[in-house]
Amino acid sequence: MPYKHDAIPLKARTAPESADEALNAIVGGFKRFRHEVFPQQQELFKALATAQNPRAMFITCADSRIVPELITQSAPGDLFVSRNVGNVVPPYGQLLGGVSTAIEYSVMALGVQHIIICGHSDCGAMKAVLDPQTLERMPTVKAWLRHAEVAKTVVAENCGCADHNTLEVLTEENVVAQLDHLRTHPSVAARLASGQLFIHGWVYDIETCAIRAYDAEKGEFRPIDDGPLPMATPRARYPQS
């Protein structure tokens, strides 16, 4: 049976919680899932118990406000998600860690046809890139965000934008930079060349729910619901017949 998206009461938490209150809320959520949601979806989870066939890999920020399955209304098993601070993709060979292994596995083992890199509004990582002094007590975060330095340089030398929208432009440029890094991965490069893989660069706006996607041909971000879907995929050089 198809996955059912029941209405979820969403409420922003503005008041602080104790450690016990936070944990109890999480455990309580699991109990509701186990007793109310899972029984209605047993056939789905039975099918997923021994195999997965995701539609796409979704690389996004670790920010707690970004929920790929909610934003795209996807069911369990639909998205192969990799999250990290700043939706970073290290260039191949520099840091063969979790992101690199997830990319290789999704392409080679799972055969995904799409990889989406999704940045977002009000990104704390991008704010830190603009103000690196805030990272002096977080050396690992500082080192990790060096992978976004290329975007900062592009903006500094080309943008000429006012302070009020520098963060927005940097967020977009960071997505473009990570798309460039993504293409250095051999598994990705090979399947892009053969037309078996498509890559996408998105920026999600938390307040308005709008998504802008990178159009590689025009060199700009456009709304994904305005005309033809913007594509970041380069032309295949060895298309499969």
User: Which residues does the annotation mark as catalytic?
Assistant: 61, 63, 65, 120, 123
Sheet holding 114-120, edge to edge: 79-84, 56-61, 114-120, 198-204, 211-215, 220-223
Q: How far is it, in rounded angstroms, from Cα 203 to Cα 232?
A: 13
Q: Which of 205, 148, 211 is nearest to 180 (CA)?
A: 148
